[in-house]
Amino acid sequence: MAPPPPHRPYKRPAISDQQRRRDLALQAQSARRADAQARARSLANSLLSPSSAAADTAVE
Amino acid sequence: VASIEIPRREWQELIAKLLGNMTQQGAPAPLKQATLEALGYVCEEISPEHLEQDQVNAVLTAVVQGMNQTELSPEVRLAAVKALYNALDFAESNFANEMERNYIMKVICDTAVSKEVEIRQAAFECLVAIASTYYVHLDPYMQTIFNLTANAVKGDEEAVALQAIEFWSTICDEEIELQEEYEGSDDANSTVNYRFIEKALPSLVPMLLETLLKQEEDQDQDDNVWNISMSGGTCLGLIARTVGDAIVPLVMPFVEGNITKPDWHCREAATFAFGSILEGPSVEKLAPLVQAGFDFLLNTTKDPNSQVRDTTAWTLGRVFELLHSPASANPIITSANLTRIMTVLLESSKDVPNVAEKVCGAIYFLAQGYEDAESISSVLTPFLPNLIAALLSAADRADTTHFRLRASAYEALNEIVRVSNISETSGIIGQLLQEIMRRLNLTFDLHILSSGDKEKQSDLQALLCGVLQVIIQKLSSSDAKSIIAQTADQLMFLFLHVFACHSSTVHEEAMLAIGALAYATGTDFVKYMPEFFKYLEAGLQNYEEYQVCSISVGVVGDICRALEDKILPFCDGIMTVLLKDLSNSMLNRSVKPPIFSCFGDIALAIGDNFEKYLPYAMPMLQGAAELLAVLDHTDEDMVDYGNQLRRGIFEAYSGILQGIKGAKAQLMIPYASHLLQFTEAVYKDRSRDESVTKAAVAVLGDLADTLGSSSKDLFKSNLFHVEFLRECHDLDDEVRDTASWAQGMINQALVS
């Protein structure tokens, strides 16, 4: 059994700003990843749609 | 030696030998003491599964005998109580047996009134440990324990009283956890919540309120101080979280009766009591009280006593943190009182360091209240220049002994930047960016004479990099992005300089800032890569400080999206380290799912150039998928981790499929069947969360999109997708849209 901590936090907020910075960076990264993948998927859609013959040619 | 050998079953006679010392007729007290200490150390070092039940029983018998009042040597009795503390984890089956439990509890309660203070303290430490480990068995003993703790808190030495209060704080911890765990659940098998706190409330609260009046002079200045008033207030806060509204009428008469008394102890205790109960009770119960006392609280920031001011500033921070909500019908902060609040906070930020630190905290939470509404945050705009100036000056004057003021000041600055209405404030934030860069530059010229100096330099650099990250992120999400483009060279110069300081905190903060910078600068970031790459590689290799590794993995994703195929020259190096990290059993497991997602980011950036990594990355993905099949579903943490891993694997497949799509799409055919099997297994697993569902259906669409007609037979022979996609129509918009898109892709493949 580990020895008890010297004392509980006193007049301290529960969450650190450093943790917030990490969490917000992580959120921003997954939002951008989702955007990047969504962009790739919408490109797929536009290539398949009948009106995108020009885009098709350009890609080829 | 025992900690190595007992787990390997190599020193089985040790316990019996030690116990022999205790049962020996006329064994001298020093031998018994040393034996009990040795038993205590052995129990501390090894796990319960390494001792047989008969060994545990024998240890407990010896320990309890040592605690008996007939044992004349106090040293032996103290060693016995301490040994019992360490042996408690082993006593699960003894606690399940009523007779044995009654006996152990009786001995501990008897020991809690021994005449030696150290023995009493150790006995209460045992009660604290029992409160957390054996809460479920405590009911029959609570009246006795209440009497013991009440006497200790009222009249015993502080060391004993602190443990007595800690007992109640621990009961609160347990009951809060039980409430959180079973909130809204009607699970009949849930662990019983005896609501000890609720039952003891009318006696417990007055007992704790009394402790608040026992402050020491200048107690807020030193982190190492822990006394009865601090412990009592902390316990009161936990009780408020446990019982909610019921605490309010028991505390308010104490607040009202003491808040205006001439003795500062009374005023501080009243404020501390009020601040402590702000979390737990409902807003409806608290808001009228806070509104009635708010002006008084603002005035108390001018109290002649600094401890009263400290607690007042802390209480204001708690009010803002817990009750300030601009969107509410009856907000605490209105346009009518905002100017006065700001004036008070700006003025108090010049107070002595410990008070100023709490004021910075109050500013932090005041700003945070405006987080979700940029339009409402406009109300802060007129105050921004003065707030920034006050916080910078608070950070400046923080002397070497009060690092926390500096940290609070910069962190409050971060929150102000985050919530600011950028269209109104980009000019001010741009100036702040210059000022923070100037300050970071100055840190390189600090005279470093000792490791303490080095640590202070690193801490300061970490804080400043944190502010820069927040500013970069804020500006890059707006029309003011050009400010970042203009300063990117200087920023990168500073970050690279910071990396030269070998501190994990600084490394992490600079990495986070660079990730934000890469996103803001886009393909222009490529010019920094030759110099930056070695630090990125070092970050990815830093498995010991896994937070650095984790942030670095995230930054690879940022850079992929910024550079797209320009990242190619660096990919061999990056992939090599990432693959090594995946195989590294010493790396914290939480980093592994993001590494898979990162494979997807790389593939999406470099397209079919990812081909060369397929033979390495794909077996890793398949191996992880197989690992998931044998995951322990009864462990909540493992279920969470399983979901993270699944999402990471799907994101990897999505990125790779989209990246490889086109001329080399056929390269993915050998992996398609395994991917579908894995997706089906995930579909059947009810523990998957919605983000996993979304990633899974997306991957189905990606597979059909990339392989086209080559996937037709696979989809025809694995029909689970029909039901899976249909079920998604009952889920949220994002999942439904993704499922519709995937359905479209599969339909195209099937008719092709």
Does the beta-carbon distance from B558 to A32 stay under 8 Å? yes
Residue B645 dihedral angles phi and psi, to the nearest 5°: -65, -45
pLDDT tens for residues B665-719?
Answer: 999 999 999 999 999 999 998 888 999 999 999 999 999 999 999 999 999 998 9
Does the beta-carbon distance from A22 to B128 stay under 8 Å? no
Query: Lowest-confidence range among B116-130, B612-626, B627-641?
Result: B627-641
Confidence of residue B446 (pLDDT cuts 50, 70, 90): confident
Q: Are B80 and B39 in contact (CB under 8 A)?
A: no
Count of CB contacts below 8 A, A vs B? 101
Does the beta-carbon distance from B547 to A1 stay under 8 Å? no
Distance in Å, alpha carbon of B188 to nearest chain A alpha carbon: 31
Nearest to A17 among B226, B414, B702 (CB): B414
Does the beta-carbon distance from B561 to A45 stay under 8 Å? no
Whether A15 has its CB under 8 Å from any CB of chain B: the answer is no
How many Å apart are CA B566 and CA B512, to the nearest integer? Answer: 21
Does the beta-carbon distance from B705 to A41 stay under 8 Å? yes
Distance in Å, alpha carbon of B79 to nearest chain A alpha carbon: 15
Does the beta-carbon distance from A17 to B554 stay under 8 Å? no
Interface test with A, best of B658, B660, B692, B732 (most A CBs within 10 A): B658
Give the per-residue pLDDT at B212: 98
- Mean pLDDT confidence for B654-664: 94
Distance in Å, alpha carbon of B226 to nearest chain A alpha carbon: 6
Sequence-separated (6 or more) residues with CB below 8 Å from residue B322:
B278, B279, B286
How many Å apart are CA B496 and CA B440, to the nearest integer? Answer: 12
Sequence-separated (6 or more) residues with CB below 8 Å from residue A43:
none
Structure tokens of B685?
């697993």
The residue among B503, B519, B601, B517 whose CA lies nearest residue B553 is B601
Between A57 and B152, the higher pLDDT residue? B152
**Taking the CA of residue B632 as centre, how many other CA atoms within 13 Å lie in the half-sphere pointing to its CB?**
5
Q: For residue B283, how many other CB atoms are within 10 A of its CB?
A: 14
Give contacts of B745 with chain A, Cβ < 8 Å: 44
Sign (positive or negative) of CA dihedral B618, B621, B625, B631:
positive
How many Å apart are CA B401 and CA B394, to the nearest integer? Answer: 14
CA distances from B491 to B370, B405, B488, B613 (A): 29, 25, 5, 33
Percent of chain B with pLDDT over 90: 75
Distance in Å, alpha carbon of B88 to nearest chain A alpha carbon: 8
- ipTM for the complex? 0.81
What are the DSSP calls for B701-748, one per residue? HHHHHHHGGGGHHHHHH-THHHHHHHHHTTS-HHHHHHHHHHHHHHHH
Give contacts of B651 with chain A, Cβ < 8 Å: 33, 37
Q: Are B111 and B77 in contact (CB under 8 A)?
A: yes
Give the per-residue pLDDT at B187: 57
Does the beta-carbon distance from B519 to A28 stay under 8 Å? yes
Give the per-residue pLDDT at A52: 42
pLDDT tens for residues B709-751?
Answer: 999 999 999 899 999 999 998 888 889 999 999 999 999 999 9
Confidence of residue B630 (pLDDT cuts 50, 70, 90): confident
Does the beta-carbon distance from B231 to A13 stay under 8 Å? no
Distance in Å, alpha carbon of A11 to nearest chain B alpha carbon: 7
Query: Lowest-confidence range among B183-187, B423-427, B489-493?
Result: B183-187
Mean pLDDT computed over every residue of chain B: 92
**Taking the CA of residue B480 as centre, how many other CA atoms within 13 Å lie in the half-sphere pointing to its CB?**
19
Query: Lowest-confidence range among A42-56, B268-282, B360-374, B495-509?
Result: A42-56
Residue A53 has pLDDT above 60, yes or no: no
Between B191 and B188, the higher pLDDT residue? B191
Interface test with B, best of A29, A30, A32 (most B CBs within 10 A): A29
How many Å apart are CA B592 and CA B249, to the nearest integer? Answer: 50
Between B209 and B446, the higher pLDDT residue? B209
CA distances from B196 to B151, B493, B565, B574 (A): 18, 59, 63, 55
Give the per-residue pLDDT at A59: 36
Does the beta-carbon distance from A41 to B701 stay under 8 Å? yes
Does the beta-carbon distance from A37 to B698 stay under 8 Å? yes
Nearest to A26 among B473, B554, B655 (CB): B554
What are the DSSP calls for B591-632, one per residue? GHHHHHHHHHHHHHHHGGGGGGGHHHHHHHHHHHHHHHHT--
